[in-house]
Amino acid sequence: MVSVIHFALEVNGTQYENMRVEVRQPCGTNFEEEPIEVGEIIGSYNGTWNHKDFADLCETYYRSLIGSSGHGINIQGATQVRMRNNFFGKTSICEMDIPEDGATSW
């Protein structure tokens, strides 16, 4: 399953609107126990980045919508689920540390 998370980003007081990232649940993996894949961020921000913390935030957000604890699509005990063209909107405000220098956004 491939999904897109749309978000805005604020870094040091500068706003970056219309950002997005693809997240994937790899085929054949256990949705409840295995991590999702979080791709490269797409948008105007190209500064330093903390992908691990960002991926953790995306996974928490994603699982809050889909899965056994999801509020969008609650899936429990299924082995094969087909979904297409679903859209969920949920406001979430998160914070993470971004290094001053070093790792770039990919």
Q: Are strands 14-24 and 37-38 parallel, antiparallel or unpaired?
A: antiparallel
How far apart are the C-alpha atoms of 19 and 43, rounded to whole Å? 5
pLDDT at residue 75, as a whole number = 57
pLDDT at residue 70, as a whole number = 58
pLDDT at residue 30, as a whole number = 73
- Which backbone phi and psi does 76 adopt, to 5 degrees? -135, 125
- Which backbone phi and psi does 43 adopt, to 5 degrees? 150, -165
pLDDT at residue 77, as a whole number = 60
Half-sphere exposure of 43 (CA within 13 A, CB side): 19
pLDDT (tens place) for every residue of the chain, 106 residues total? 788 999 999 999 999 999 999 999 888 887 777 889 999 999 999 999 999 999 999 999 888 887 666 555 555 565 566 666 777 778 889 999 998 876 555 5
pLDDT at residue 64, as a whole number = 83
Which long-range contacts link 36-42 to residues 24+ away (Cβ below 8 Å)?
A: 36/62, 40/105, 40/106, 41/9, 41/105, 41/106
pLDDT at residue 54, as a whole number = 96
